[in-house]
């Protein structure tokens, strides 16, 4: 049997008043958070769905920002590459004029000087930066100028002439995730954009009896190729040809060493993995501190030049007054550079089209996911405001009733 005491009405009323206050606080928190779920126990199933939707929505918004950044990056690269094409086209026009045989030697020298200045502008474009101050054509070496001019003396051209342009950048390794598990390659290295000829590297080391002694690996254009103990030169050649690198390997029938040839115009990047010396042992590269720079072995035979090599070759022929060379190899070299640059420009355009299509799809998907999240965890403000008003009215009425039922007595003040 429950014992009735004078303190029971006071205790019961305080208990129910606290419950009403808790309900008021919960409703106010839901309105403040704009969500009908404050705790998992409010609706466990809806809470589980809402967490997944919120996480997915956050990722989609991040992907959308990545696509916008990629689009801006591609637009800047596209503009600079078009400027480079215009310069090369002007150089080609000069070479056509110099090849027709109607100009005096002095006129050809004037053309050569203009070609030299245009080449300097071409180098400036190749060292262009994006809006963030990163080098556009340096690959992942974003704060290193990819091309460096080496000046010297040219016969009949005087001093302070460009005699060589060195590439110090890296490959295109920076990527942006644009959808779940899918990436867009942001950069295109200068060794790809400003190249003209397919590169060939011939080792002079006879590797007939070569065998890998311990597990190792090496990189070709950023692609890792593993080799195991006992692998011979034919096995290594086969692994290179099976890789995704735009390089084909074969055995030179003259030197019996390995030979590498690019399948499209670009500078082949070679590097032994840390702790491995396979390419060094094959006589392809030397032990250099900076593997991203041209690090061919001194005895290796390397062919295949950049767009700058083609321009330098043309300029020197103009200085010599060699119209035949200008009309044949000179124009041919510029055409190779133009063809590659236009091909790379088309590749950038295709990447831009892809990220734009992805951005459009994300802009349709984000509202759908947001609607699903609102459906699971969203708060009906009309109903919530009505319930809050009713609960507040009931709470005030309860307080007034309690004040009448439990008037304070002298004992309350003496406790």
| Tens-digit pLDDT string for the chain (415 aa) | 455 555 666 676 666 667 766 666 666 676 666 666 666 565 666 666 677 878 888 999 999 999 999 999 999 999 999 999 999 999 999 999 999 888 888 999 999 999 999 999 999 999 999 888 888 898 777 788 889 999 888 887 777 788 999 888 776 678 889 988 889 988 888 889 999 999 999 999 999 999 999 999 999 988 999 999 999 999 999 999 999 999 999 999 999 999 999 999 999 989 899 889 999 999 999 876 554 457 889 899 999 999 999 999 999 999 999 999 999 999 999 999 999 999 999 999 999 999 999 999 999 999 888 887 777 665 655 666 676 667 666 767 766 777 666 666 666 656 5
The phi, psi pair for 223, rounded to 5°, reads -90, 125
First-to-final CA distance of the chain? 28
Beta bridge partners of 232: 211
Give DSSP secondary structure letters for 124-164. HHHT-B-TTS-BTTSTT-TTS-SEEEEEEEETTTEEEEEEE
Torsional class of 159: left (φ above 0), alpha (ψ -120 to 50), beta (otherwise): beta
Q: Considering the chain, tell me which residue range(s) the CATH 1.20.1330.10 domain(s) occupy.
A: 54-197+305-365
Q: How many Cα atoms occupy the beta-carbon half-sphere of 323 within 13 Å?
A: 13
Q: Considering the chain, tell me which residue range(s) the CATH 3.30.70 domain(s) occupy.
A: 200-303
Report residue 363 as tokens: 């802009």
In whole angstroms, what is the distance from residue 148 CA to residue 152 CA? Answer: 13
Query: What is the value of pTM for the model shown?
Result: 0.79
The fold of 54-197+305-365 is: f41 fragment of flagellin, N-terminal domain (1.20.1330)
Range 200-303 classified under CATH 3.40.720 = no
Beta bridge partners of 291: none
In whole angstroms, what is the distance from residue 152 CA to residue 345 CA? Answer: 32
Show the CA angle centred on residue 28, arms to residues 24 and 29, nearest 5°.
115
């Amino acid at each position: 049997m429950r014992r009735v005491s004078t303190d029971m009405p006071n205790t019961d009323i305080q208990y129910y008043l606290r419950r009403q206050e808790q309900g008021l606080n919960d409703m106010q928190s839901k309105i403040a958070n704009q969500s009908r779920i404050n705790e998992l126990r409010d609706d466990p199933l809806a809470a589980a769905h809402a967490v997944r939707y919120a996480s997915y929505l956050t990722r989609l918004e991040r992907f959308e920002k990545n696509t916008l950044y990629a689009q801006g990056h591609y637009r800047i690269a596209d503009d600079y590459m078009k400027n480079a094409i215009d310069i090369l086209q002007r150089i080609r026009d000069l070479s056509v004029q110099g090849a027709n045989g109607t100009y005096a030697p002095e006129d050809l020298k004037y053309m050569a000087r203009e070609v030299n200045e245009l080449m300097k502008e071409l180098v400036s474009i190749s060292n262009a930066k994006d809006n963030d101050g990163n080098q556009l054509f340096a690959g992942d070496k974003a704060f290193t100028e990819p091309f460096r001019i080496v000046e010297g003396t040219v016969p009949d051209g005087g001093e302070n002439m460009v005699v060589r342009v060195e590439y110090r950048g890296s490959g295109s390794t920076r990527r942006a995730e644009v959808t779940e598990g899918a990436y867009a390659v942001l950069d295109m290295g200068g060794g790809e954009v400003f190249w003209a000829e397919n590169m060939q590297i011939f080792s002079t080391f006879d590797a007939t009896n070569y065998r890998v002694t311990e597990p190792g690996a090496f990189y070709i254009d950023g692609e890792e190729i593993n080799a195991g103990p006992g692998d011979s030169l034919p096995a290594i050649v086969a692994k290179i040809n099976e890789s995704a690198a735009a390089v084909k390997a074969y055995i030179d029938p003259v030197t019996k060493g390995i030979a590498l040839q690019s399948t499209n115009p670009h500078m082949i990047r070679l590097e032994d993995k840390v702790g491995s010396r396979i390419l060094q042992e094959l006589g392809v590269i030397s032990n250099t501190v900076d593997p991203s720079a041209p690090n061919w072995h001194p005895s290796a035979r390397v062919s295949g030049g950049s767009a700058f090599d083609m321009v330098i070759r043309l300029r020197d022929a103009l200085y010599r007054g060699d119209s035949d060379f200008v009309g044949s190899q000179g124009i041919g070299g510029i055409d190779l550079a133009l063809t590659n640059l236009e091909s790379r420009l088309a590749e950038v355009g295709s990447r831009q089209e892809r990220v734009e299509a992805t951005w459009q799809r994300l802009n349709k998907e984000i509202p759908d996911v947001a609607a699903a999240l609102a459906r699971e965890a969203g708060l009906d403000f009309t109903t919530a405001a009505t319930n809050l008003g009713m609960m507040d009215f009931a709470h005030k009425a309860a307080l007034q009733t309690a004040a009448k039922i439990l008037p304070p007595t002298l004992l309350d003040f003496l406790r």
